[in-house]
Amino acid sequence: MKLRCERDDLLEAVQFAARAITNRATLPVLAGLRMEATEDGTVAIGATDLELTMETQLQAAVDEPGTAVVPGRLFGDMMRSMGPGQVSLTSGDAEIEISSGRGRFHVKAMSVEDYPQLPTRSGDEVGIELELASETLAVGLSQVVRSASSDETRQVLTGVLWEVEGKTLTLAATDSYRLSVRELSVSNTGEGRNVVLPARALSELARTLQGTSGRVRVELKANFAVFRVSGPDSAAETVIASRFIEGEFPKYRQLLPQGYPNTLMVGRSDVVEVVKRVGLLAQNNMPVKFQLGTELEVSANTPDVGEGQEILDAEYEGEAMVIAFNPRFFLDGATAISGERLTLVASDGLKPAIMKAEGETGFTYLLMPVRLS
């Protein structure tokens, strides 16, 4: 393999792919970055930890097509430290030569044969294929991923459910304290399918999709998903693949209550500000209390620290009631929804409450209260 490219392009690609490299990799070769240069002038750079695979492409002058695996961390550090301009790479028997300006470096290469096949490149067994606008999926993911659990003891809750039925894709995540559900319209080549994908992979996907305007193709295969993101400019393709999480996602639909008696409507950015302020006095897992009414009183109290309350004007239908939430969970919900006004629907201080943007139907955030003493 022999090629010349712009350092900035190479750095960008390397930094992207290297995010799939983890410290807990089971095979030594997984600390490497796989590079493959083809005659048409594209260089694909990818990495995997067998769960998550990230691969992207850049344009280069390819003098000699070929494949190489380089130590990811070192190569990334080298690219970062180089000045802008042209970089050339030449792979030899057991090492790779990197030159830039007047510098020449030789780095021991890793075994190409030992490197596992990237699922991003496997052509096999296409299950169903969906397609939707990148930006739509990015927004949907950011709304849902935040509710996934970080507690590894219940693996399936560290993921996001992808429920495909005809032209509807429903994303759902819960850490058992709150539940995010988002419905999206997609084009679909097949029938229905339910899979759970790790939140980590989906965060990377959301980050990749952020600010892009193209479309994203989703292939749901036997035990992994492949996301193909085409860049706005060219044929260059960025691909993320992720294994499914095994296990059954809780039946979340039955948790969504129907018809609650008490409805509060309040300015969304106002309530976010107030809960942030008052929440400073809810330390050590203390909750923020909401006294629901046409004057919404938000209060918090931590023994030995202090207490505070603030009042907001609101519209309210129902009985006066008090409900308490973990302020972080409340803010996660209030910042996930869009719109000027936030609707909070509740039954009593022990039953789940629902947060929505006024008039919006596509996204639901369900939040369990904190039981007060």
Tokens 């590894």, residue located: 152
C-beta closer to other proteins: residue 119 or 369 = 369
C-beta closer to other proteins: residue 198 or 352 = 352
267, burial (CB in 10 Å: exposed 0-12, middle 13-18, buried 19+)? middle
Q: How far is the CB of 172 from other proteins (least distance, A)?
A: 12
Q: How far is the CB of 164 from other proteins (least distance, A)?
A: 23
Q: How far is the CB of 178 from other proteins (least distance, A)?
A: 8
C-beta closer to other proteins: residue 83 or 303 = 303
C-beta closer to other proteins: residue 220 or 275 = 275
Q: How far is the CB of 135 from other proteins (least distance, A)?
A: 30
Report CA dihedral (90, 62, 9, 77) to the nearest 10 degrees: -10
DSSP state of 124: -
Q: How far is the CB of 58 from other proteins (least distance, A)?
A: 45
As a whole number of angstroms, the distance between CA 89 and CA 112 comes to 16
Tell me the backbone φ, ψ of residue 166, rounded to 5 degrees.
Answer: 60, -125
- In the sheet where 353-357 sits, what is the strand order? 193-198, 159-165, 168-174, 178-185, 363-367, 353-357, 341-346, 262-267, 315-317
C-beta closer to other proteins: residue 109 or 292 = 292
222, burial (CB in 10 Å: exposed 0-12, middle 13-18, buried 19+)? exposed
As a whole number of angstroms, the distance between CA 353 and CA 289 comes to 13
C-beta closer to other proteins: residue 255 or 320 = 255
Q: How far is the CB of 66 from other proteins (least distance, A)?
A: 53
> Is 134 within 8 Å of 209 (Cβ atoms)?
yes
Q: How far is the CB of 366 from other proteins (least distance, A)?
A: 8
As a whole number of angstroms, the distance between CA 32 and CA 254 comes to 45
Half-sphere exposure of 191 (CA within 13 A, CB side): 0
As a whole number of angstroms, the distance between CA 89 and CA 34 comes to 13
C-alpha distances out from residue 31 to 26, 43, 239, Å: 10, 19, 19
Which residues lie closer than 8 Å to 117 by C-beta, 6 or more apart? none
C-beta closer to other proteins: residue 274 or 368 = 368
Q: Which residues bind other proteins (CB under 8 A)?
A: 174, 176-179, 250, 255, 284-287, 303, 324, 326, 350, 352, 366, 368-373
C-beta closer to other proteins: residue 119 or 287 = 287
| DSSP symbols for 133-175 | EHHHHHHHHHHHHTTS---GGGGGGGEEEEEEETTEEEEEEE-
C-beta closer to other proteins: residue 66 or 250 = 250
Q: How far is the CB of 71 from other proteins (least distance, A)?
A: 39
Q: How far is the CB of 370 from other proteins (least distance, A)?
A: 5
